[in-house]
A and B are shown apart, each in its own frame.
Chain A
């Protein structure tokens, strides 16, 4: 059995800094979830925790166990790979569900900067809303990012 007190000082400091940085980033992400007002802005915030936040903690874990066990411990890489592959799926599902709802409710654009998407105007507006049949990445028809100030909390 090995203990954390056996760590050399410089490693302990480095690991502590990385863990704190990772935790800080995850906290900032959660704070963003609270501070942002619109749904489409909110989904951006938690990415902090799943990218650099998780990365820092995983690197700290790799250093910690590699030094303690005096052999390379790198299976944390798998966690990083699976995080990168799976988070986008969840985020995209959430955003598309939100878009779908906005489109069904046919909400008017009330914020110029968020709905100025020229190319979207000549696309068909209906008939392609079903949550995907054949294609892996289904085209979206238009984007109403607007007025999401109400109840997304």
Chain B
């Protein structure tokens, strides 16, 4: 952690956000954005977030695409569950999935992906046992969800964070 730039990624993100908000790449805004991008992370140091390293940009892009496709697919699936005629049977339920992932940023990302996907909802994570509890709207086969979360998401997140 260097004194000048404690969180380079956060700084880059803030500058990008500032330029996007102002919809310009004028030199004045770049300067102003740079001041913000340097100042805000500096005050973030008080919160002492744990450091992490991102590896494999390829895996990040793959994860993004996989999540995008899955979110779109489950949007259609959940919309069909809602719109199909007739009384629906209660097939929702909780699934417990043991994870190897321990990185808090990785877990936060997994929580965002799972909750953003219609039909699945992150309920909680037991940091002692490493078991994540997920609520699933259309729970027909536990095994399928086990494979999706462990095989698809956790594998990529492990590549990125650990």
Write the residues of chain A forming the contact surface with B, with a CB cutoff of 8 angstroms: 25, 28-29, 31-32, 35-38, 40-41, 43-45, 47-48, 50-53, 73-75, 77-78, 84-85, 87-88, 91-92, 95-96, 99, 111, 113-120, 123, 135-140, 143, 145
Residues of A within 8 A of B124 (CB): 96, 99, 137-140
Q: Is there contact, CB below 8 Å, between B116 and A117?
A: no
Q: Does B27 contact A (CB under 8 A)?
A: no
Query: How far apart are the CA atoms of A78 and B133 in the complex, in Å?
Result: 30
Contact A116 B93 (CB under 8 A): yes
Residues in B with CB closer than 8 Å to A137 are 104, 107-108, 111, 124-125, 127
Interface size on B, residues (CB 8 A): 46
- A25, B79: Cβ atoms under 8 Å? yes
Q: How far, in whole Å, are A140 and B122 apart by their CA atoms in the complex? A: 11
Chain B positions within 8 Å of A, measured between CB atoms, are: 17, 20-21, 23, 71-72, 75, 78-79, 81-83, 88, 90-96, 98, 104, 107-108, 111-112, 115-129, 131, 133, 135, 137, 139
Closest to A135 in B: B127
Give the distance to chain B from A140, nearest Cβ to Cβ, in Å. Answer: 3
Residue in A47, A135, A143 whose beta carbon sits within 8 Å of that of B123 in the complex:
A143
B79 and A28 contact, CB distance less than 8 A? yes
Given A31-B83, A41-B137, A137-B104, answer yes or no on A118-B125 (Cβ-Cβ < 8 Å).
no
